[in-house]
Amino acid sequence: MILAIAISGAFAAPLLQIGPTAFYHQQVWDSEKSEVILPDSVGAVTNNIGLGADVRVNLGMLQLAAFADCGMPFGKDLSVLTMNGGVSLNTVISIAFLDAFVGAGAHVDVEHNFNSGAWAFNGAKFTSFDELLKSCSLFYRAGASVNIGWIGVSVFADIPTSGSIGGSLSLKPLVDQTKISASLLFNIG
C-alpha cells in the first residue's frame, strides 16, 4: 500500500509547471469540409511556429495557466516583432499520470515595429491599461498532459470566440481559427 501511494504521488499533478512551448499559428480545422488541414510543406510549418513558455499553477481540480509566444523569424519581416499571450482558468481531471483539462481565458496580441518604435496591442495603439484589457479576446482551451515525476509533456488547443472582455460577450467558438500547441513542462512541488 505504501508503494502504491508513493507511485501515485510521483504521477500526481504538481503544484507548479513551467516550460518551453511551441505554438502553431495556422488553421488546423475546416468546419465546412469537417476535416483537418495538413500543411503542404515543411516551410508551411516552420513559417507558422512561435516559441514561448507556459506556466501553470494546479490547485486540486483548478488550474491557472499563463502563456506567451513570439513568432519565429523564418520568412518573416525582422523589423516587426509579433507576440501573443493569454491566461486561462481550467478544470483538471487527473487519472494516474494523465491530466485532461478544459477551460476559458483571455488573449492579447502585441506588435512592435523596430523601424518606427511603435507598439500595438490587439491591433490598436496603447492608450490605457483599461482599454487594453477591454480589447482582449476570449477563448476556450482544452488539452492533456502526461506527468512522470519532475517532467511533463502537454498538448492543447485554443479555440477563439467572437467575444472580447470589453465588447460583445458572445462565446460562440470560432473553430476554424483553432490553434494548437505543445509544451515540455518541468514539474515543481
Mean pLDDT by 10 residues, the chain (189 residues): 47 82 79 74 73 92 92 62 89 90 92 84 80 87 92 93 81 85 92
Grid coordinates representing 128 are: 490605457
Place of cell 498538448: 155
Rounded distance, CA 17 to CA 14, Å?
Answer: 7
Q: Where are the domains of the chain?
A: 2-188
* Helices and strands per DSSP (H, E), number in the chain: 3, 12
Q: Which of 114, 105, 159, 160 is nearest to 133 (CA)?
A: 105
Rounded distance, CA 13 to CA 99, Å?
Answer: 7
Helical segments of the chain, H only = 2-11, 42-46, 129-134
Cα-to-chain-centroid distance, residue 84: 9
pLDDT given for residue 12 in this prediction: 57
pLDDT given for residue 71 in this prediction: 66
- How many Cβ atoms from other residues are within 10 Å of residue 98's Cβ? 13
pLDDT given for residue 63 in this prediction: 94
Write the class of the CATH domain 2-188: mainly beta
